Amino acid sequence: KNEVEQSPQNLTAQEGEFITINCSYSVGISALHWLQQHPGGGIVSLFMLSSGKKKHGRLIATINIQEKHSSLHITASHPRDSAVYICAVTGNQFYFGTGTSLTVIP
């Protein structure tokens, strides 16, 4: 069993749709990270959070420590949002989810 589970694995949306990606984890953590990986491998750190909610542009990340659950929301999705979104947690080491592949269709 993976320490970090993401859903859905794949997601296709129409431009403008509101998107939610979910992450559940089973280990004790100090922080949770949302990462964006584009084709070719480059990874960008979107958020690091340990409680509550963070917002950056059209991206919103929330975490519920009691439920060991986090969500990444994208409002007014755009084709340039197409990427793999990875949830990772830091406990005694880094644990990564397998990613959610998002395709936004114009």
Partner 1 sequence: ETGVTQSPTHLIKTRGQQVTLRCSSQSGHNTVSWYQQALGQGPQFIFQYYREEENGRGNFPPRFSGLQFPNYSSELNVNALELDDSALYLCASSLRVSGGTTSTDTQYFGPGTRLTVL
**Contact residues: partner 1, CB under 8 A:** 4, 29-31, 33, 35, 40-45, 48, 50, 86, 88, 90, 92-99
Q: Which is nearer to partner 1, 58 or 96 (CB)?
A: 96
Q: How far is the CB of 18 from partner 1 (least distance, A)?
A: 25
- Our CA dihedral for 105, 79, 8, 39, rounded to 10 degrees, sits at 120
E-strand ranges in 1-106 read 4-7, 10-14, 19-25, 31-37, 43-49, 52-56, 59-64, 69-74, 83-90, 94-96, 100-105
Q: How far is the CB of 28 from partner 1 (least distance, A)?
A: 11
Q: How far is the CB of 79 from partner 1 (least distance, A)?
A: 21
Q: Which is nearer to partner 1, 72 or 86 (CB)?
A: 86
